[in-house]
Structure 1
């Protein structure tokens, strides 16, 4: 009997599974952010307005916001291999279509297909790692995910800037394609089924409410962040429908015997603290990653490539710090990483709120690097600690909740930052003695950007208060495998 149990315990080939997942995840995250730098180029080539161009990012986030909540259900309906292959097929098809795109509509469709792949892949990656890696080594493994999730967006803009300058924006996608094919082949060869397929009953109403809820909120906030403004009927209706649907969704999940997302996960206090930390962290990262390159290009007149280069050191430092933070988390728990991390983030954003057109390259690189070190101290430890408190059967639900709220936080954070920036610019212009004077444009834009950084700092301070409630979770249940 012990012999049989032993073989069962060591049946996962952890390394090949990890490599397949991380490679696919890396390219998914890379293409999600690489396009941001190309937006100004795309506006010229495709003759579209900034508001229209923004849809390439919004549609991507919207698809994730709709599909990720359903991922918990999909993980119980299909085997790991089936989901992995499906995710990569969507990613490959979307990337190929994007590389071939002749016009905006075609590219937008390609982005949605790409996002379907990412939406399946992200929860699958987290869930698989939770199942195949024992709790005491989980911080280090999550650190590897952190490395992938953070380095890809960091080098995305730089590589994209280089490709745009020397080739064309199509090459952002041509470059990703071979790596996705390699990841698919690795997956077919090495991926194993790590979860049980239970095929729970599918509740169509839950899926509709979840899609309307998360979709409405992401759409509403994204539209507000564009040119629409908060007062437009489109924004108000979308957010209202989103909130109402979410309330109904929550009520339905609580009253069902077999809910689509098991909200019992929220009964675990450290999971709740982890969710809040990840939410705040995501708002801060995505809003500053949008505002900063924008200011470097429009306020300081750098090219896409140079702006990308300035942000590269911070991204790489963050990626390299993630596995180190993972090991420290395994050893010391989350509190002594998360609290100093939030202090570093708040201080960096406070300094950023004094950025001007004359701020030096060193100022930008040092502060951005400090910001990224702070983020690496918060994100992964809070997330892993939160999920560690859940019983094993709630892992798919826990990862679905965390991943969904990350997308929602991203949409809300960027929308709030953009609207705060716009409002700041507007109020400067209104108080200027001669608003028509072109000399006022740059100081007005600068004030808007500074206000957006103050918003980020305020979010970090709220996070700091919550962080004092963090406690280390000692995992009771044994993981299913050992690391052979």
Structure 2
């Protein structure tokens, strides 16, 4: 599947070199999943996807991971092709955002311990502002300092959302399910990151030109569109979070109770009352 996604970036999603490995990978994944679910002691416990809180959290994490990997690929390409920077100079310009990410990751863990998933909306809004800022900086040629600051802004917001959602997914599991949950989280993030890289590469090289754009290269035009789409995805993810917040904030005690007695709550009855 990852090989197919990688081919899609260069050959397109409809090319045989994309469709054939995608079909083979999908078939193998389905067979493997059916086998694991059927086993009494599976190698990887895929039944944890039945946990709505875990499933919803990890889907959001996958979306954010795809956006993150896609944009950190497109940004340096823009700097090198449009502003004529060397690879090392482009890396140094983006370096502050890496430092901000490291600090934000430390703070995000403490914030989740205190506030839970309530930090997710703030992280998504901050990252959306940062992505919009990068797109505007590219479109208006606002310069390198503005680019570095905007990158630091989305780098500060995204870890709060991702860390909270990732922690929330594991917090919804029983202790014996942690190894399976951790393994699935890592795999899903790697695959969605690869998908994001492919999708944003296609956007960067094949998207249309924004109104008022004076740039002549397809990559430059597409880079602006890529960061604008990233901002839109952040807003849509925020909407999805607000819609599914009751699922994301269900307590593990209630989940264990429902799984243990196998009794569904009556219509209109609160889980806490049970």
**Residue of structure 1 equivalent to 2:236:** 462
Q: Does 1:294 align with 2:109?
A: no
**Residue of structure 2 equivalent to 1:112:** none
Q: Of 132, 142, 145, which aligns to 1:350?
A: 132
Q: Does 1:446 align with 2:208?
A: no
CA contact (8 A) 1:280 1:460 kept: no
Q: Of 39, 46, 51, which aligns to 1:263?
A: 46
**Residue of structure 2 equivalent to 1:220:** 4
**Residue of structure 2 equivalent to 1:202:** none
User: For residues 189 and 230 of structure 2, what CA distance do their matches in structure 1 show?
Assistant: 16
SS at match of 1:353: helix
User: For residues 400 and 306 of structure 1, what CA distance do their matches in structure 2 show?
Assistant: 36
Cα deviation 1:348-374 (Å, max 9, x = unaligned): 222323313823112211110111111
**Residue of structure 2 equivalent to 1:321:** 104
How far apart are 1:473 and its partner, in Å? 5.9
User: For residues 254 and 403 of structure 1, what CA distance do their matches in structure 2 show?
Assistant: 20
CA contact (8 A) 1:353 1:454 kept: yes
User: For residues 405 and 463 of structure 1, what CA distance do their matches in structure 2 show?
Assistant: 17
CA contact (8 A) 2:130 2:152 kept: no
- Within 5 Å, which residues of 2 pair with 1:29-428? 217-225=1-9, 227-334=10-117, 336-354=118-136, 355-356=138-139, 358-424=141-207
How far apart are 1:440 and its partner, in Å? 6.8
SS at match of 2:41: coil
User: For residues 440 and 384 of structure 1, what CA distance do their matches in structure 2 show?
Assistant: 42
User: For residues 330 and 474 of structure 1, what CA distance do their matches in structure 2 show?
Assistant: 14
TM-score by length of 1: 0.48
- CA, structure 1 residues 357+223, in 2 after alignment: closer, same or farther (shift >3 Å)? farther
Cα deviation 1:387-423 (Å, max 9, x = unaligned): 0110111111101110000110111000000111221
CA contact (8 A) 1:282 1:409 kept: yes
Which runs of 5 or more residues in structure 2 are unaligned? 257-274
**Residue of structure 1 equivalent to 2:269:** none
SS at match of 1:300: coil
SS at match of 1:356: helix
Which runs of 5 or more residues in structure 1 are unaligned? 1-216, 429-438, 478-484
How far apart are 1:312 and its partner, in Å? 1.1
Cα deviation 1:144-198 (Å, max 9, x = unaligned): xxxxxxxxxxxxxxxxxxxxxxxxxxxxxxxxxxxxxxxxxxxxxxxxxxxxxxx
User: For residues 61 and 226 of structure 2, what CA distance do their matches in structure 1 show?
Assistant: 20
| RMSD between superposed Cα atoms in Å | 2.0
CA contact (8 A) 1:271 1:389 kept: yes
- CA, structure 1 residues 440+340, in 2 after alignment: closer, same or farther (shift >3 Å)? closer
How far apart are 1:308 and its partner, in Å? 0.9
User: For residues 187 and 122 of structure 2, what CA distance do their matches in structure 1 show?
Assistant: 26
Q: How many residues align?
A: 246
SS at match of 2:69: helix
Say which one has the larger Rg: 1
